[in-house]
Amino acid sequence: MPHEIYAELSCDCCGYDLRAHPPDGKCPECGTSVEESRRLAAFPRRPVWRDSDPRWRRRMLAGMWVLVLLPLMDVLNTFGWAARVRVPDVLDYGNTGRTLSDSLVSWPGVYQPLAFCIGVVLLFSKERGRRRNKLDWTRRWGVICSYVVLLLTAVPILFIGSLVLAGISALFMAMPLKYQPGVTHFFAQVSTTYLRYGPSPKDVANIVLVAFSSIAILLACAALFDALRSSGPKRPAAILLAPLAFFALAYFGQAAVHYISPGMTSPEIFHYGIYFRPELLAMGIADLPAGPNVSGPELPPFLGEAVKWCVVLAIAVWLSIAQLTAWGQRKKASTT
């Protein structure tokens, strides 16, 4: 008995036409089960925002608002508010009144990379209840790029750990040779090498940092476009994301040119190691009450930073309005 022929049944993995294949068969191109492709065909390729995965919606919103708050620490330090914010210190039994400016979070290169990595990784959250599309590969590579950025920015800060490791290796070396652990030489070599090269990385490390942060934002634009077009028209979503993609391509190109010919570009590109430059935005905000004092060579970077932050804020507000609308429609539907 001939099997049933389904209409417009394509392989969910490679797109091969499976209409003439039996339900218990497999795709001749990639080996995906026909029954699995038939099951996934019932899901929409791009569900609207209110019908999409709630966990995915929450993570997208959280990621955008984390990126919005990325300049927060620089603003607090610029206005002197960080010295007034008390923070708990479980190791300080004397109750000396430790403030935010004294904590590790306020150190340069701590809060901003953490906020960048957390925010971008949340944007690459997997959405359930949706069919695969051609841009799903950006999720994995975007997460990898974000983690590389976090590791590279942590290199100058981890010298504290290398000092501890050097102290441990010194204690081991003070012991008689027959009692020394086998990792003594390894600890000493790792700690001394890090203390020599880690706190002051070479230019190539900064170039790689700029390149990976730019790639992460460029890949995040695909995930953001997927979210924005599910809650509104496509064209305004593409226009809104265009500045972020433009700056990402510009920074990546400048990093590549600097690697090939260091004299052709300005070392200012190293300030965009996490794509954003929040300290410049904070200084511009501090000068607003007395009038805009950002001028000369600092004006274009400040304007670019303001544009990027405004775009991030607009996307966060857009998705927040869509989430509130979805909650209202769901609540109205449950009461009727």
Q: Who wins on pLDDT, 71 or 134?
A: 71
User: Binning pLDDT at 50, 70 and 90, where does residue 291 land?
Assistant: very low
pTM of the prediction?
0.77
For residue 98, what are the contacts with CB-CB under 8 A and spacing of at least 6? 86, 87, 88, 89, 92
Q: Who wins on pLDDT, 335 or 185?
A: 185
**Res 1: pLDDT:** 39
Q: pLDDT of 153-179, one tens digit each?
A: 887 777 777 888 888 888 888 888 888
Task: Please say if the pLDDT value at position 204 is more than 80.
Answer: yes
Strand, coil or helix: 139: helix
Task: Supply angle C-alpha 123, 125, 126, rounded to 5.
Answer: 140
Reported as half-sphere exposure (CB side, CA atoms, 13 A), residue 274 has a value of: 26
For residue 202, what are the contacts with CB-CB under 8 A and spacing of at least 6? none
Mean pLDDT of all residues in 23-43: 71
